[in-house]
Amino acid sequence: MSDDVLVKVDGVSKKFCRSLKRSLWYGVKDVGSELFGREGGHGELRKNEFWAVDDVSFELRRGECLGLIGPNGAGKSTLLKMLNGLMKPDIGTIRMRGRTGALIELGAGFNPILTARENIYVNGSVLGFTKQEIDRTFNEIVDFAEIGDFLDTPVQNFSSGMKVRLGFAIAAQMEPDVLLIDEVLAVGDAAFRSKCINSISKITNHSSVILVSHSMPAVARVCNRSICLKDGVNAFEGQTPQAILKYLDFLTVDSSLSSPDGLLKDCKLRISNKDKENWSQEITMKSGEGVDIELSFSLDTTVNDFCINIGISDGDMNPAIQIYSLRSHPAFMNNRANGSEKKISATIDNLPLKSGRFHINVYIAEVRSDYTIGRVFGSLLSAAVINVVDHYPGFAPVQLVAVWRD
């Protein structure tokens, strides 16, 4: 193992059991075979078992931050627990060098009845600090957690955000060689999340960090390399932007029509590259190119004037772009007489998106006589998909072009 490689994972697999009764019994058997000095792994699956982590290998050096991403149930947390020594792998070996710190569940070990002050000492020693170390960093912890006024309040009266802040503040004082972080940034407000991300980046300077998260912006910001897991298998390893694309591919979102009062029916959207007439539900384009869209639907005969709002969201379903028809077109009129199908088409000249998968969502809303927008008649989410290809590894959804002068 070369000198600055701190984590070496070699062909690691772990199996879980779907049935609880059997799982417990296998547990008894596994302890039994451990007692009889079993050597090597259990390579074969028993009844009702499956591989939760399947033959994963990687290396991590000091100063590197590895993102571990993948859909729910991909095996990320299981892998992290094996790295932390909480569970043993069934096959393969894990070598960890130096002191390992883990932010797996912040505030595990908090006692709700005790005050924040008392819990800082308890939680600190659970994480392996001595009393002197905690004394020394006590003020930093309190400052970081921003709980100054609540130091002598029982933790049970804390909001969940405050608990997580306190938990992170204590854990962030660790100076580990390897730091494992499991989705702890999900709670807490934006300001605190960004504080956490900064402190993780700072730790990365002198440690190896492995970050499990579903927040792609956070992964993109701190991880120089990422692994995308799917069903326990390493589906992609490499640059973070590409790993995120792979992850978003795994998130399939089905298109869904919703209309609370049943006023919108038979809504369909087709898209095509601009002027190419390749109508489809899914197209591929270069960043900055345009698209033609064609919408067909029928609205209830009671509906009068309406407008269309098109939302484009990224693979994580975060909104990226919005296009209101009212900005450039007067209200549309419904075919009130027979309520027959209505067809509307539009051209968007320029979509400066980052590379990745984008969903087009359509909303149809009332336009009142005073030209304000009223209630929403119905929506079609993920009506079509655009795959954008771009040379630049952006993490913001919209990539604009400036005029530069030197």
Partner 1 sequence: MDRPLKETVYSPDSELLSFGRLLRSMLSDLLNSRELAWRLMVRNISAQYRQSLLGYAWAFLPPLFTTAIWVFLQSQKVFTVADTGMPYPVFVLTGTVLWQTFVEALNAPLQMVNESKAMLSKINFPREALILTGIGQVLFSFTIRVFILIPVYWWFEVPFQAGVLLALIGVLALIALGITIGLLLTPLGMLYQDIGRGLGFGTQALFFLTPIVYPVPQASWAETLVTLNPVTPLLQATRDWLVLGQTGHLDGFFWVCVLTLIFLFAGWILYRIAMPHLISRMSA
SS (H, E, C) 346-377: EEECCCCECCEEEEEEEEEEEECCCCCEEEEE
For residue 261, how far is the Cα from the chain centroid? 33
* Cα–Cα dist 153/261, whole Å: 49
- Picking from 364, 365, 328, 331, the residue whose alpha carbon sits closest to that of residue 347 is 328
In the complex, the smallest distance separating the C-beta of residue 183 from partner 1, rounded to whole angstroms, is 12
Eight-state DSSP code of residue 353: B
Candidates 16, 51, 138, 250: give the one binding partner 1 (CB under 8 A).
16
- Picking from 113, 206, 140, the residue whose alpha carbon sits closest to that of residue 124 is 140
- Burial label for 124, CB within 10 Å (0-12, 13-18, 19+), is buried
Q: Per-residue string for binding with partner 1, 269-288, x by CB under 8 A?
A: --------------------
In the complex, the smallest distance separating the C-beta of residue 178 from partner 1, rounded to whole angstroms, is 10
* Cα–Cα dist 322/311, whole Å: 4
In the complex, the smallest distance separating the C-beta of residue 65 from partner 1, rounded to whole angstroms, is 18
In the complex, the smallest distance separating the C-beta of residue 166 from partner 1, rounded to whole angstroms, is 15
Q: Please, which residues have CB within 8 angstroms of residue 194's CB and are 6 or more apart in sequence?
A: none
Candidates 55, 59, 71, 118: give the one binding partner 1 (CB under 8 A).
118
| Residue ranges in 137-196 that form contacts with partner 1 under rule CB under 8 A | 177
Candidates 46, 57, 73, 111: give the one binding partner 1 (CB under 8 A).
111
Of 151 and 373, which CB lies nearer to partner 1 in the complex structure?
A: 151
Q: In the numeric block, which tokens belong to residue 297?
A: 């639907």
Question: Binding to partner 1 by residue 95, rule CB under 8 A?
Answer: yes
* Cα–Cα dist 377/42, whole Å: 58
Q: Which stretch binds partner 1 (CB under 8 A): 30-38, 65-73, 227-235, 336-344?
A: 30-38
Total Cβ atoms within 10 A of residue 111: 13
Collapsing DSSP to helix, strand or coil, 246 comes out as helix
Q: At what angle do helices 160-171 and 131-145 cross, to 10 degrees?
A: 140
Q: Please, which residues have CB within 8 angstroms of residue 119's CB and are 6 or more apart in sequence?
A: 107, 110, 111, 155, 166
Of 208 and 325, which CB lies nearer to partner 1 in the complex structure?
A: 208
* Cα–Cα dist 37/225, whole Å: 38
Q: Which stretch binds partner 1 (CB under 8 A): 124-132, 187-195, 347-355, 359-367?
A: 124-132
Question: Binding to partner 1 by residue 11, rule CB under 8 A?
Answer: no
| Residue ranges in 349-378 that form contacts with partner 1 under rule CB under 8 A | none
Question: Binding to partner 1 by residue 2, rule CB under 8 A?
Answer: no
Instruction: Yes or no: say if 69 and 228 are a contact pair by the CB < 8 Å rule.
Output: yes
Q: Which stretch binds partner 1 (CB under 8 A): 85-93, 295-303, 356-364, 365-373?
A: 85-93
Half-sphere exposure (CA, 13 Å, Cβ side) for 195?
A: 16
Q: Which stretch binds partner 1 (CB under 8 A): 113-121, 191-199, 219-227, 330-338?
A: 113-121
Candidates 46, 57, 113, 396: give the one binding partner 1 (CB under 8 A).
113
Q: At what angle do helices 190-204 and 160-171 cross, to 10 degrees?
A: 10
Instruction: Yes or no: say if 30 and 41 are a contact pair by the CB < 8 Å rule.
Output: no
Of 28 and 401, which CB lies nearer to partner 1 in the complex structure?
A: 28
Candidates 92, 217, 288, 290: give the one binding partner 1 (CB under 8 A).
92
Question: Binding to partner 1 by residue 324, rule CB under 8 A?
Answer: no
Q: What is the H or E stretch that residue 273 is in?
A: strand 264-273
Q: How many residues bind partner 1 (CB under 8 A)?
A: 62
Q: Per-residue string for binding with partner 1, 47-76, x by CB under 8 A?
A: -----x---------x--------------
In the complex, the smallest distance separating the C-beta of residue 131 from partner 1, rounded to whole angstroms, is 7
Question: Binding to partner 1 by residue 321, rule CB under 8 A?
Answer: no
| Residue ranges in 31-50 that form contacts with partner 1 under rule CB under 8 A | 31, 33-42
Q: Which stretch binds partner 1 (CB under 8 A): 80-88, 143-151, 224-232, 380-388?
A: 80-88
Instruction: Yes or no: say if 357 and 248 are a contact pair by the CB < 8 Å rule.
Output: yes
Positions in the binding site for partner 1 (CB under 8 A)? 1, 6, 14, 16-17, 23-24, 26-28, 30-31, 33-42, 52, 62, 81-100, 102, 104-105, 108-109, 111, 113-114, 118, 121-122, 125-128, 130-131, 177
